[in-house]
Amino acid sequence: MTSYHDLPPLAGLCTMEEALKPGLSVEECVRRLKRFHYAFVRLHGMLTARITSEPIYELKTAFAHHAYLCAEHATAIRQRVGEMREPPLGLEEVPHEALKVFFDEIEYAPTTELFVHGVYIPGLASLSIGIERYLDETHPLTDAPSRRILKFAQSEIDDVVQIGIKICLALHAENDESMDWQHSILSELIDIRTSDAKAKHENLPRRYSLTQRVFDPIPRRDERFQDLWNQGVNAEAFLYSDSTRPTPKRL
């Protein structure tokens, strides 16, 4: 088939030669998408759980925004899996026990330095690598909807990883302990090149996740903020003051 006046064929998604090559099966696409979904959900949960007890304001805002991005991409992947003839979705199931231990280790990291290193370096960076591999191997025409949402996800993940690297450098998070942890535990669980489960179910290595982290509900702020409970402004006094006009009150 020759393109009319050399117009881009197939809506510009790929060439005819690329369309004739085989890609991933539907089953394999769904398997990988479920893995990405699980990663986004776990990262969202652990980032959100750290916001309250983390005193540094810049980290609070970073954790909150990055958790929001993870939630958005998890939602998009959930919708895509639902389109791929896969009822029931099974997205609440753990794709592989090694993946669970991998994210448990990051979630239960005992210090902020170890936590940010785990989230942004082996966590999100390996997820980006896995998505890139998916984009290279899936069929560019038949799986165009998945490629669309994953290209967007990878773009935002890469931006977040760059921010995360700056956070790690500022906190000196890449220390001997974090590097040993990454190589001796995390790398034994996940193949960083593919973000796929690497270890077998038996004898999965654990270090920090041997003791689960208890959620700390006490809000904390760094030394720049003296008003822990936001009581510096008496909103009621402002609202009921006769000296204030209605428009500023509404604002």
Say if pTM beats, i.e. exceeds, 0.95: no
Asked if residue 3 belongs to a domain, the reply is no
Task: Give percent of the chain above pLDDT 70.
Answer: 95
Asked if residue 165 belongs to a domain, the reply is yes
Asked if residue 229 belongs to a domain, the reply is no
52 phi/psi in degrees, rounded to 5:
-60, -50
Structure tokens at 61: 């805002």
- List, in sequence order, every residue forming a beta bridge with 197; answer none if it has no partner: 190
- What is the predicted pLDDT for the residue at 193? 64
Please choose, from the candidates 49, 29, 31, 43, the residue with its C-alpha nearest in 3D space to the C-alpha of residue 71. 43
Number of structural domains the chain divides into:
1
Asked if residue 85 belongs to a domain, the reply is yes
Average pLDDT of the segment spanning 184-189: 90
Asked if residue 12 belongs to a domain, the reply is no
Average pLDDT of the segment spanning 27-35: 94
Q: Which band of pLDDT confidence, cut at 50, 70 and 90, is reported for residue 230? A: low
- What is the predicted pLDDT for the residue at 229? 67
Q: Which band of pLDDT confidence, cut at 50, 70 and 90, is reported for residue 172? A: very high
B/e letters for 92-122, b = 16+ CB within 10 Å, e = fewer, are: eeebbebbbbbbbbbbbbeebbbbbbbbbbb
**Tens-digit pLDDT profile for residues 37-92:** 999 999 999 999 999 999 999 999 999 999 999 999 999 999 999 998 767 888 99
Asked if residue 241 belongs to a domain, the reply is no
Give the count of beta carbons closer than 10 Å to the beta carbon of residue 47.
26
Asked if residue 67 belongs to a domain, the reply is yes
CATH code (residue 39): 1.20.1260.10
Asked if residue 37 belongs to a domain, the reply is yes
pLDDT exceeds cutoff 80 at 236? no
Q: What's the chain's average pLDDT?
A: 90
Return d(Cα 50, Cα 67) in angstroms, integer.
10
User: Which range of residues forms the domain containing residue 175?
Assistant: 24-210
- What is the predicted pLDDT for the residue at 233? 66
Q: Which band of pLDDT confidence, cut at 50, 70 and 90, is reported for residue 194? A: low
Indicate the Cα dihedral angle 113, 183, 159, 169, nearest 10°: 40
Average pLDDT of the segment spanning 154-161: 97
pLDDT exceeds cutoff 70 at 228? no
Distances (CA, A) of 189 to 16, 122, 183: 39, 11, 10
**Tens-digit pLDDT profile for residues 110-133:** 999 999 999 999 999 999 999 999
